[in-house]
Structure 1
Amino acid sequence: MEPGSGPEPATPAVPASGGRWTRPPRVREPFWSARRLRVLRLGLWTAAAALLLLVLTVAWVAADALRARAALSDAAESITTLQGEALAGRSDGLAGQLARLQDEASRANEATSGPHWSVARELPGVGPTAEAIATMTEVVDELARSALPDLARSAELMDPQVLAPDGGRIDLERLRRVAPEVVRADRSVELAADRVGMLDGAMLPPVGDAVERLRAQLDGLRTTTATAARAVDVLPPLLGADGPRNYLVLVQNPAEPRALGGIAGTVLVLRAAGGEVTLVDQLPGGRLGPYDEPVLPLTQDERSVLGTRGEVGRWMQNVTMTPDFPRAAELARQMWLRETGDQVDGVLTADPVALAALLHGGGAVDVAENVRIDPDELAGYLLHDVYFEYPDPRVQDEIFARIATQAFTRIAALDSGDGGDMVSALAEAARQGRILVWSSDDAVNRRLAGTVLDGSLTGVRDDSPVVGVFVQGIDMSKVAYYLDTKVAASVVAERRDGSRKLEVTVTYTSTVPRDRVETMPDYFAGSDAERHGEIRLRSLVYAPAGGRISGAYSNGREVGLTPKKQGEFSVASRNIDLSPGETVSVTYAMITGKRQSGDIILRVTPGPRPADITISDDLAGAAE
């Protein structure tokens, strides 16, 4: 072998003196040898290539993200418009709007697809932002291709004209036809909201803001689809699709307040069969009771909070003393059975504001011989004027009966296209708590749970604390027609155990005109000469589930309360007397249950006029 043509031959071991063998000295390779330089250069080139690839990937993702952002922005506007059109029942322009949304969503999804996005999702620091952008585009694209077309095709359900009777009958078959698409759309929106809700991590601020906006949009859209899904499920059986159903309707009078609104002044019986609703019977509420004993056993808590003599279970006019509508419905149903021997399939509430909604758009109402009232003035007439014009309670009952008959007669006479305003007005009355529904069918009640029609006494809904602010009239006058209510609730601190500290300020104002008090009839303003024109009431404030009321203050001073319990709820009871023109304001300090981090929900007794409600969840960093 030629010198230099190959590796050096191994040097044999040489015995040292004394016969011992030793290994020859090792020749060390120079640190910057050619071999090591080659490895280093290869590593540097690899790192440079990887870094370049990373830079190109991030740049590519960033460029795509900008395109996706523009497309998502357009798609977001389209979703809002599409939802508004569907809610309004304007189906003519939905096809074009949906096509634009699908194009925008598709462009956004294409811009966030490909292997570079898969890489970006795994990169430290960049991953959460890339994941959020890609997920948002996927969600919007899936909605545009599935849920929203279903929503658009079933938009006719949202049209108030569809829910209004035609010739006295609601088209239940039409509801059944759109039911599968409505339910499918609701499920798709629910899944989309869950996916976006799971996005977390440190995102770039603009992307984090976009995630929050999309969450809010999906929550709003879910409200629409969930309501529609409940409607197609609940309305047919309620309206007698599977056989006739009889319902007791408690027409409340909020001028004589009770927790749910007012005394049950008039009781109606409605029959629903095949989508047609007819009025079959009615009685003044005062004719049902009082009974010697409650028609159903009352708990000790119910007697303590609502009246030790069991008034809530002894007189139809008083079943609305309990703020738990299913309990009121059971008591009313039992009273009707005892009085007439007839069983009913459910119980509803209404009041003069709701009756006026039924008569909305139909012209003047005959309230007495040669007396006609416009529907917009009807609530004021029934809650105030009638007591001045007709002091005899029997005549008052006849007028209430006449108006109820006209309301349901007009429903039967409606033609297609005439009922949109009526349904919209009824929806607003329901949002104010003036219309509640309970069924003897537990499956129907489960579908109604959590809606404005439910009326159950609940101190938490999902993760939102529910505060109840209710009022009971102490005497039998109607002067509470002049009662105005204002409620302001705010979160003032987060507590270490996961609960929150709230402040709820309840303000009652008497607007009784001082110059008219002496001319008011006793039946309206009270028979006690010393208290004539004074509004006397009992305020009941319920803390959220698992919480408590820790104190109350008025004008900077601590005020005494009568602490009570009703089942799991902590209740503050306080009697309040209001002279004409007087205002009383009390602030309640309360603690929520644990893990109730959602927005505060206020439930307030509906009065002659809507309560003034304000809610603030802005802690501004407060904690304790």
Structure 2
Amino acid sequence: MSTEVQQAQGNRKNSKGSRRRIRRRLILAALWTSVLAIIVVACTAWIGFKANIMRTELQAATTLLPEMKAQIAANDTAAAAVSVEKLIGHTQAAREAGNDPLWKSVSALPWIGPNMQAASEVATSADDVARLGAAPLVKAFQSLNWKTLAPTPSGIDLSPLRTAAPKVQAAAHVVRESSKRLHNIETGNLLPQIAEPLISAREELATLSQGLDSAADAASLAPTMLGADAPRHYLLLMQNNAESRATGGIPGALAVLTLDKGHMTLESQTSAGALGPFDPPVPIDAEQKAIYSARIGKFMQDVNLTPDFATTAATAHSMWEKRTGERLDGVLSVDPVALSFMLEATGPVQIADPAIRKIGSGLPPKLTKENVVRTLLSDVYSAVEDPDRQDVYFSGAAKEIFSTVSSGKADPKGLIDAIAKGVDERRILLWSASHSEQATVGKYKLGGLISGPNVAPAQFGVYFNDGTGAKMDFWVKRTVEVAKDCTRDGYREVTLRVTSTNTAPADAATSLPGYVTGGKAFGVPEGTVQTNIVSYGPVQSNIDTVVKDGVKIPFAAQRHSQRSVGTSTISLAPGESATLEFNFGHIVQHSQPEIVVTPTVQSVKDVLLPPLAAPCE
């Protein structure tokens, strides 16, 4: 056989071998591809299965929350405990799904990985909140009882609240940290199916965190401030809304409120007028002195011309110490509308003191939630001519209400709700002479501050100070609204519209007592109401113009704690109305405006109208 033939045969054999090897490789590749495809499909199915578990369990947990809140509100601790166990079961299942080894491995991949990591974080946070937040809270709640938190003739049993405080603080810490963890997740590149629930969870946790922080602070401070360790003594300012001041009304009647293990007593009742003027005045910072004059530090009746309750309280505290030599633990302020809230919980209160009954012989023998405001802010001036006796009656009525509250006759849950409503409308304000306590109190509406890190960035204020020297504000009806909210050249512009109406009878000059009309004491005609309206913008804003009934008018422009302040004065005869528009510009804050107003005889919800939000022209 020739060499060529042999070579050809060898080539044919090699060719067949190569084709066989190629076929084997192709078969092997196809096999591995099939196996890989099966693995990918299986992994995808497994991940989808785990994702479905997470979604289903978290949805189930979410549906339990309203039910659990209702159970807590109804004081059904047994049902709440069952609900929280169910909640933990759901969140734990979701967390376990997110901790699956395959899930964690795939979470390291680009694009899909961050979405899976975010889902795991949501499940982990939900479980932390359920196990370390909700469960301890429900246990703490079980140790409390509304009845134990309400005053009784022997005081308040504060030990359960003090025992619950660490649990509430721990729960608040867990929720706060979980909230921070979710806020650290970048949502820009996440799938909508992941980003939207994550953003929703952030909002829910942020709201829950604020509530728990408040509860933790209250549980920590309340026992001490209610006299659990030693009696506490507070100067009680009873604000009279018939003569408006920025924080509510003139503090004509004063008393010392003593709290001893939760038991309340009113002592040292007197009037602001009895303290007399202070010369030299109590020092006031230069900004507020420029806006409100030195009267804040000269007369107890004017300590709350400023809307900053910390200034009001510190000044009143200093005045009381100068006149009496008594250094108190703080200052508490209430108004008759807040007292009406309390009367919803106590029911009618009989005027038992014979001396007070004699002074108010023409007034109702019982104070109710329906008649207390009119009695204290209007009818007393017709029935009692002497201003000093009016203050005595006012103080005596307040003492009867506080005594009834302290006697334990009030519905416990109703009383707590009444106090909460009074705080929410800024009708109940508190200041502590202890710097550490005040640092906590000042974080909330209860502190009545107008500046600081705890004041809303886009907070506006509208405050009323009587310029009549009378009690005519009982007859004034007011509304406040955002008339314009727009952006121009990167800065926000906001217009606050304030409308005031004097609803006094046309013959007010003769039909109302001289003490109510003022008797022209400050040159204001009888029946006319003169009001200094002060409006605050946010930090760094400017007050540009003030418009009265469509016409620009002069106004005073100042600053208080970096906030712009505009002041204008209106005078209204019976039946007259006036509208002021305060135009603020150069506002850098872009969050929703929050408006704070002086609490008046009206409900705050009737004063604050929905925003009109007109566009920039």
Are the aligned partners of 1:80 and 1:217 in contact in 2 as well (CA < 8 Å)? no
Residue aligning to 1:544: 538
TM-score, L = length of structure 2: 0.86
Residue 188 in structure 1 maps to residue 174 in structure 2: yes
Tell me the SS of whatever aligns to 1:165: coil
For 1:274-289, what aligned pairs fall within 5 Å after superposition? 274-289=261-276
**C-alpha distance in structure 2 between counterparts of 1:617 and 1:56, whole Å:** 57
Relative to structure 2, which stretch is displaced further, 46-55 or 34-43? 34-43
1:361 paired residue among 346, 370, 373:
346
Residue aligning to 2:423: 430
For 1:70-109, what aligned pairs fall within 5 Å after superposition? 70-109=56-95
**C-alpha distance in structure 2 between counterparts of 1:556 and 1:124, whole Å:** 61
Provide Cα deviations, 1:174-233, integer angstroms capped at 9, x if missing partner: 211111111111111111221222332333434433223322322332233112211121
Are the aligned partners of 2:235 and 2:332 in contact in 1 as well (CA < 8 Å)? yes
1:535 paired residue among 516, 529, 535:
529
Are the aligned partners of 2:241 and 2:250 in contact in 1 as well (CA < 8 Å)? yes
Tell me the SS of whatever aligns to 1:313: helix
Provide Cα deviations, 1:582-621, integer angstroms capped at 9, x if missing partner: 3322333324764x444433221111122332566989xx
Residue aligning to 2:318: 334
Tell me the SS of whatever aligns to 1:154: helix
**C-alpha distance in structure 2 between counterparts of 1:388 and 1:190, whole Å:** 55
**C-alpha distance in structure 2 between counterparts of 1:390 and 1:175, whole Å:** 44
**C-alpha distance in structure 1 between counterparts of 2:497 and 2:20, whole Å:** 83
Residue aligning to 1:405: 399
Q: CA deviation at 1:43?
A: 8.3
Provide Cα deviations, 1:288-338, integer angstroms capped at 9, x if missing partner: 1222331x223332232102xx11111111101111111111211111112
Q: CA deviation at 1:100?
A: 1.9
TM-score, L = length of structure 1: 0.85
**C-alpha distance in structure 2 between counterparts of 1:157 and 1:555, whole Å:** 58
**C-alpha distance in structure 2 between counterparts of 1:155 and 1:550, whole Å:** 51
Residue 571 in structure 1 maps to residue 565 in structure 2: yes
For 1:10-89, what aligned pairs fall within 5 Å after superposition? 56-89=42-75
Residue aligning to 1:349: 333
2:229 paired residue among 242, 245, 261:
242
For 1:80-479, what aligned pairs fall within 5 Å after superposition? 80-155=66-141, 160-199=146-185, 200-294=187-281, 296-307=282-293, 310-359=294-343, 360-366=345-351, 368-369=357-358, 371-376=364-369, 377-414=371-408, 418-458=411-451, 461=454, 464-479=457-472
For residues 358 and 99 of structure 1, do their structure 2 counterparts lie closer, same or farther at Cα, with a shift above 3 Å needed?
Answer: same
For residues 145 and 599 of structure 1, do their structure 2 counterparts lie closer, same or farther at Cα, with a shift above 3 Å needed?
Answer: same
Residue aligning to 1:514: 506
For residues 493 and 52 of structure 1, do their structure 2 counterparts lie closer, same or farther at Cα, with a shift above 3 Å needed?
Answer: farther
Tell me the SS of whatever aligns to 1:461: coil
Q: CA deviation at 1:530?
A: 7.2
Tell me the SS of whatever aligns to 1:549: strand
Tell me the SS of whatever aligns to 1:475: coil
**C-alpha distance in structure 2 between counterparts of 1:468 and 1:614, whole Å:** 14
For residues 266 and 121 of structure 1, do their structure 2 counterparts lie closer, same or farther at Cα, with a shift above 3 Å needed?
Answer: same
**C-alpha distance in structure 1 between counterparts of 2:26 and 2:608, whole Å:** 72
For residues 112 and 306 of structure 1, do their structure 2 counterparts lie closer, same or farther at Cα, with a shift above 3 Å needed?
Answer: same
For residues 302 and 116 of structure 1, do their structure 2 counterparts lie closer, same or farther at Cα, with a shift above 3 Å needed?
Answer: same
Q: CA deviation at 1:35?
A: 9.7
Q: CA deviation at 1:556?
A: 4.8
Are the aligned partners of 1:541 and 1:571 in contact in 2 as well (CA < 8 Å)? yes
**C-alpha distance in structure 2 between counterparts of 1:449 and 1:111, whole Å:** 43
Number of equivalenced pairs: 590
**C-alpha distance in structure 2 between counterparts of 1:306 and 1:292, whole Å:** 17
Q: Quick one: percent identity of the two aligned structures?
A: 28
**C-alpha distance in structure 1 between counterparts of 2:489 and 2:115, whole Å:** 31
**C-alpha distance in structure 1 between counterparts of 2:586 and 2:120, whole Å:** 38
Are the aligned partners of 1:459 and 1:544 in contact in 2 as well (CA < 8 Å)? no
Tell me the SS of whatever aligns to 1:305: helix
Relative to structure 2, which stretch is displaced further, 319-328 or 79-88? 79-88
Q: CA deviation at 1:566?
A: 2.6
For residues 45 and 568 of structure 1, do their structure 2 counterparts lie closer, same or farther at Cα, with a shift above 3 Å needed?
Answer: farther
Are the aligned partners of 1:87 and 1:158 in contact in 2 as well (CA < 8 Å)? no
User: Hey, which of these two has a bigger chunk of helix by percent?
Assistant: 2
For residues 116 and 613 of structure 1, do their structure 2 counterparts lie closer, same or farther at Cα, with a shift above 3 Å needed?
Answer: farther
Provide Cα deviations, 1:212-267, integer angstroms capped at 9, x if missing partner: 33223223322331122111211122122332221101110011001111111111
Relative to structure 2, which stretch is displaced further, 77-86 or 136-145? 77-86
Are the aligned partners of 2:536 and 2:564 in contact in 1 as well (CA < 8 Å)? yes
Are the aligned partners of 2:548 and 2:581 in contact in 1 as well (CA < 8 Å)? yes
**C-alpha distance in structure 1 between counterparts of 2:40 and 2:611, whole Å:** 46
Are the aligned partners of 1:463 and 1:597 in contact in 2 as well (CA < 8 Å)? no
**C-alpha distance in structure 1 between counterparts of 2:555 and 2:460, whole Å:** 17
Are the aligned partners of 2:243 and 2:469 in contact in 1 as well (CA < 8 Å)? yes
Q: CA deviation at 1:50?
A: 6.2
Code of the residue aligned with 1:538 in structure 2: it is N
Are the aligned partners of 2:144 and 2:160 in contact in 1 as well (CA < 8 Å)? no
Provide Cα deviations, 1:384-433, integer angstroms capped at 9, x if missing partner: 11112222213312211221221232233216x74332221111011110
Residue aligning to 1:505: 497
**C-alpha distance in structure 2 between counterparts of 1:293 and 1:413, whole Å:** 42
**C-alpha distance in structure 2 between counterparts of 1:438 and 1:214, whole Å:** 35
For residues 609 and 618 of structure 1, do their structure 2 counterparts lie closer, same or farther at Cα, with a shift above 3 Å needed?
Answer: closer
**C-alpha distance in structure 1 between counterparts of 2:524 and 2:540, whole Å:** 42
Code of the residue aligned with 1:326 in structure 2: it is A
Are the aligned partners of 1:87 and 1:159 in contact in 2 as well (CA < 8 Å)? no
1:492 paired residue among 454, 477, 485:
485
Q: CA deviation at 1:491?
A: 7.7
For residues 459 and 230 of structure 1, do their structure 2 counterparts lie closer, same or farther at Cα, with a shift above 3 Å needed?
Answer: closer
Code of the residue aligned with 2:247 in structure 1: it is L
